[in-house]
Amino acid sequence: MRPIFTYKNFLILIVVLFFSIKGFSQCSITTSRTTTGLTCGTSPLNSCGGVLNIGDGTNAMTLTMTSNLDLSCLGPIRFIVRNGASIDFSTGNYDLQLANGSSIEVESGGQIGAGSNCSASDLIKIGSVKVASCTGNSALTNFEDLVNNGGYSSVSVSASPASICNSGSSTLTATASPSNDATIKWYDSQTGGNLLYTGSTYNTGTINSTKTYYVEAVYSGYTTVRKAVTVTVTNTAAPTGTASQSFCSGNPKVSDLTATGTGINWYSVSTGGSALASTTVLTNGTHYYASQTVSGCESSSRLDVTAIVNSSSVAPTGITGTTTICNGNSTTLTLSGGTAGTGAVATWYLGSCGGTLVGTGTSITVSPASTTTYYVRYEGTCNTTSCASTTVVVNPLPIAAGTISGAATVCKGTLSVSYSISTITNATSYVWSYSGTGAVISGTTNNVTISFASGATSGNLTVYGVNACGNGTVSNALSIAVNNVPATPSAGTPTNPTCKVPTGSVPLNGLPTSGTIVQTGTHNDTYAITAGGTQTISSLLPGTYYFSVSNGSCTSNTVTVTIVAPETNTWSTGSWSNGTPTINQRLVFASDYTNANDVDIVGCSCQITGSTAVTIKSGRTLKIENGIDVATTASLTFENNASLVQINDDAVNTGNINYKRYTAAVKRYDFTYWSSPVTPQTLKNLSPNTLYDKYYSYNNGWQIIYNGAATMTAGRGYLVRAPQTFSITVAAVDTNPTFIGTPNNGVVSFIVAGNQVHLLGNPYPSAIDADVFLNTNAAVLEGTLYFWTHNSAPSSAVAGDATYNYTTSDYAIYNRTGGVVTNSSANNFDGKIAAGQGFFAPSSTSGGTLTFNNSMRVEGGTSGVNNSQFFKLNSSAKTSTVAIQKSRIWLNLSNKEGAFKQTLVGYITGATNEYDGGFDGLTYDGNQFVDFYSVNQTKKYTIQGRALPFVKQDSVVLGYKSTIVGEFQISIDRTDGVLATQNVFLEDKDLKVLHDLKKGPYTFTTEKGAFNNRFVLRYTDKNAVEEVVVSTTPSTTTTTTTTEVVNNGTSNSGTTSAGDSVKEGVSSNEVLVSVQDGVITVKSSVISLQTVVVYDTAGRTLYRKEDINASVFAIQQLLATHQVLLVDILMADGTKVSSKIIY
């Protein structure tokens, strides 16, 4: 056991040691050193007198363990580590060995340790005992605790006996180590307390409770820590248990008695005596006594238990009494057989033995409501027997009748009206009663019929059940109202459906003033009678109808009306049943149709029945007023360029069509802009062999639709690349695309955001009129449409987000001014957008709801030209209520190597000389080779619409861009309107050449770059003298309109006064200088003009023309900015006129 030294004890120890050292021979190591060289018998380890001091108690020193130090040769010693001294084990794993019987003392300030090299191999041993290691492992303690406890010494102690039963004495023996000069002292407390005895052996005397004693060894100069020894006294109490214990007869034994405790023994007396055998039979009323033994100690007191032996019951054998009764009667039941034991009572149950208690005693009287089984048994102190049972059969009355089901309102003269009630339990028959008159009841079960005569009256219907025990409770009455029947209406002459009006009507006569008209037959419906007499029923589809009148409870007989469908024209076995189809006929295809006669077809509606296959040939139109209906087992196929035109926006189509579309000739990397004319249609099904990531939609940028999984939205455009199987170098037409689904019809609308370009598409299986589309959406769209044409091959050199991109010159452009094409061989745009065609359309600033409707749809035209190509638009537009005047010129910029760009200038109703979204189409300026455009207010237009009336003095600035150095031509592609006969000139301002384009193309050479003011389109020869009509008669007080002309060709009105002119020798009304539409006109009414010179205010000559010899002269497109100019005029007679104008 590790001793613990208190600080107080340690101080005492120091004092004692101080004086003891003075009187005895001791060894001391007082200066720092290692253990190497320390040997018993040589200084400082000689004549130690049983004490070895490490340190002098004042000065610091360290004894470093550099080897094992065995001090056993000194015999039992006190090994003292004094204040300021340290024993250091950090240099290795070494042992300090002391002789058996030695002690270790560590003064306050003394240290034993190993620093960071602490190990269980650093040991201090006394004899064979490992007293301490640095870590404490495999030893009694660690170095730290050894120091904190003030060292180590041992006292061993034992008690004999260590345990006493109830009371007795014990002898305590202690041995000190070391034993030399040790005095043994016994105490009753760990510290302090009473000294009980001095000596190595101490007898406790008689004790009757557990006590702990403490022993110490006193040496000369110090005392060990006291060691405790405990003598345990076991006082065993009597066991616990029930004082009176009952048993049933059957020879209960001592082993059946119970007591709570350990090692229980039973006696026949309260003290002394011998324990009874467990097989001893108990006697009723006898006392028995129990003890318990705990840890070998038997209790001196005992538990007193009285044994009670009771008798058991014998089960009853039967029950007597009446066992069949009617509901409401009673019977007395009596048990028989068996005997009752101690405290036993006969107990009666129902439901089961021990179920629901119904009484006690040998007899009970019961009145069960239904057949019931009763059980009886004896329940006593000793036992509960099994049950005897009997069943009382109850014959009940019929239960109360439930609710009668059947009509609460009937009409007079109605026969065999069914009424019923749920089966009445226990009833063998039923009694029905009716309080009214004129009603005959048939049947005596829970289901009957009642016939109401024409004179029957209202009344109450009841029923009850009957059996041998009597009558059941009567049901609640069902009140039956017997009502009069309305008169049957008559029908007038029906109005049958037509194609325009697909439903018919009929007048009904003889109606009451109120009630309801009931319609059955082809379609069921009801109508409230509004005023009586005659009322017309409308919106009737073809079929047979039956009309009656209801007053809310009774309905009249019916009148039959047949609505005849419009004339049906059926195609069967190669011919029509009613001649060539007309728009008013309902068309039915009952057999296959291939359009062998190559004709267009019109009809009111169209139905494809059975497994019929109908094909509309390429270029032909199926025009239907209303809807089409294709059976799921039939087919309706439109070949490429065929059309389906529908008129009624509200018509509903059912079933699928197959709508074929051929692409233009494409190579693998070519794209086609698509739009679906049917629903639903996925991009993948349209072109299944296109590479998985080459399906696109457009929403402010291209978005990939992987695997073409998206369903195409009506009115939206999509971009799909040619099949992966197509050649990269050789173009071919893809004839495989087929749209399969229900054809789109009627209004298609959705919201488009403002100031964005949207990819739209024709949503119908027919062409649509671009002009009608633009007019309908004038507030939503900017007004110009861009169509893809495959003009240029895809190139990786073109900017974009894919490896191969097209240039924007491949977009043919169309607006209300007209359209331009992208190569010289392309057909002209005339405003028809083909089925399946996708196109770009910039929205207006605000955007809004974009709308397609059937008014835009057009027929295929001759040979289907209106629907023939995605980018080739032809045929006439729909008639407009406003006469549209158009005078247009198409100009081509091209070279011999195939570079091409077209621009259009048109004078058209509704256009202005400002920017007009519906008439002006901006160039995308994205062509990698050439671009060609007109310029107005710094904007560059592929199409420019200008105001009417056309003025031949007008001029339009033309610009171009080229990445090619070389020779190009500008030529007229075509003209219309007044421009068909008007002279057209091209002015090359760089070369100062004015070329007549009507006589042939103009050829020029160019460098790379953009040239936005080299060319001017004119309609007069500015070098020729042309008379200009002036609308105002000149005078000194009259002002004439002048126009300030800027270099881009726009005009702003201003005025100048003829009174500003300075005249020499000419009257004031003889010469007029005016400015209109950029043309300066000088007109003399008397003398011919000779020379005209124009100066700016700085005196620079801007224009000079001599030898005019004409009375009128016009200066066109003067190269001057908005400013005040001076005009000097020399007349033929030598007189001069000077005039100031604002240009």
DSSP track, 599-663: --EEESEEEE-TT-EEEEPTT-EEEESS-EEE-TT-EEEE-TT-EEEE--TT---BS-EEEE-PP
Alpha-carbon Rg for the chain, nearest whole angstrom, is 65
Beta pairing, strands 857-858 & 767-769:
antiparallel
Q: What fold characterizes domain 490-563?
A: Immunoglobulin-like (2.60.40)
What is the spatial distance between Cα 920 and Cα 186, in angstroms, rounded to a whole number? Answer: 126
Which residue has 């006669």 as its token pair?
597
Strand partners, 375: 349, 389
Closest Cα partner for 129 from 140, 145, 119? Answer: 140
Closest Cα partner for 521 from 541, 545, 487? Answer: 545
Reported as a single tens digit per residue, the pLDDT across 238-280 is 999 999 988 888 789 999 899 999 999 999 999 889 999 999 9
What is the spatial distance between Cα 838 and Cα 788, in angstroms, rounded to a whole number? Answer: 8
Domain boundaries, the chain: 7-152, 156-234, 244-310, 318-395, 405-483, 490-563, 668-736+745-877, 1025-1143
Given this model, what pLDDT does residue 216 score?
Answer: 85
Beta pairing, strands 985-988 & 993-996:
antiparallel
Domain with residues 156-234, CATH architecture: Sandwich (2.60)
Given this model, what pLDDT does residue 355 score?
Answer: 93
Closest Cα partner for 1004 from 1014, 1013, 1018, 1017? Answer: 1014
Check: CB of residue 189 under 8 Å from CB of residue 199.
Answer: no
Q: In sequence order, which residues have a C-beta less than 8 Å from that of residue 949 and are 6 or more positions away?
A: 907
Q: In sequence order, which residues have a C-beta less than 8 Å from that of residue 258 and are 6 or more positions away?
A: 241, 242, 245
Which residue has 């990786």 as its token pair?
796
Given this model, what pLDDT does residue 698 score?
Answer: 94
- Evaluate whether the domain defined by 1025-1143 bears CATH number 1.10.10.10: no
Given this model, what pLDDT does residue 1 score?
Answer: 34
Name the token pair of 414.
Answer: 């109605």
What is the spatial distance between Cα 903 and Cα 934, in angstroms, rounded to a whole number? Answer: 7
Check: CB of residue 900 under 8 Å from CB of residue 810.
Answer: no
CA dihedral 621, 625, 627, 632 (to 10 degrees): -40
Residue type, 225: V
Cis peptide before 949 (omega within 30 of 0): yes
Closest Cα partner for 190 from 4, 2, 1? Answer: 4
Q: In sequence order, which residues have a C-beta less than 8 Å from that of residue 676 and are 6 or more positions away?
A: 686, 712, 713, 714, 739, 741, 744, 761, 763, 836
Residue type, 536: T
What is the spatial distance between Cα 1035 and Cα 1069, in angstroms, rounded to a whole number? Answer: 5
DSSP state of 781: B
Phi-psi region of 852 (alpha: psi -120 to 50; beta: other; left: phi over 0): beta
Name the token pair of 614.
Answer: 């109908």
Beta pairing, strands 665-666 & 732-733:
antiparallel
Residue type, 975: T
Check: CB of residue 158 under 8 Å from CB of residue 200.
Answer: no
Beta pairing, strands 51-54 & 27-29:
parallel
Geometric angle at alpha carbon 449, from 444 and 455, rounded to 5°: 120
Given this model, what pLDDT does residue 1123 score?
Answer: 74
Residue type, 227: K
Strand partners, 244: 306
Low-confidence ranges of the chain (pLDDT < 70): 1-24, 101, 154, 177-178, 220-222, 225, 789-811, 823-827, 829, 860-883, 925-928, 1022-1069, 1077, 1097-1099, 1117, 1119-1122
What is the spatial distance between Cα 351 and Cα 391, in angstroms, rounded to a whole number? Answer: 11
Given this model, what pLDDT does residue 1047 score?
Answer: 32
Length of the chain (residues): 1143
DSSP state of 682: B
Q: How many CB atoms lie within 10 A of CB 440?
A: 13
Which helix (H) or strand (E) element contains residue 529? Answer: none
Question: Taking every pair of C-alpha atoms in the chain, what is the biggest distance, in angstroms?
Answer: 182
**CATH of region 405-483:** 2.60.40.10
Check: CB of residue 204 under 8 Å from CB of residue 192.
Answer: no
Check: CB of residue 1055 under 8 Å from CB of residue 1099.
Answer: no
Strand partners, 219: 222
Closest Cα partner for 828 from 878, 890, 880, 907? Answer: 890
Name the token pair of 1025.
Answer: 């003298």
Q: How far apart are the first and last CA of the chain?
A: 127
* Three-state SS at 578: coil
Give Cα 639 distance to the centre of its chain.
Answer: 42
Domain 156-234 shares a fold with domain 405-483? yes
* Three-state SS at 417: strand
Given this model, what pLDDT does residue 790 score?
Answer: 54
Q: How many CB atoms lie within 10 A of CB 158?
A: 12
CATH class of this structure's domain 318-395: mainly beta
DSSP state of 24: S
Name the token pair of 416.
Answer: 């065999």
Check: CB of residue 913 under 8 Å from CB of residue 883.
Answer: no
Q: Answer yes or no: pTM beyond 0.85.
A: no
Return the half-sphere exposure (C-beta side, CA atoms, 13 A cut-off) of residue 680.
6
Given this model, what pLDDT does residue 1094 score?
Answer: 87
Given this model, what pLDDT does residue 250 score?
Answer: 79
In Å, how far are 297, 321, 1138 from 290, measured between CA atoms?
A: 14, 54, 158
Q: In sequence order, which residues have a C-beta less than 8 Å from that of residue 889 and are 6 or more positions away?
A: 904, 905, 906, 972, 974, 975, 979, 984, 1017
DSSP state of 368: -
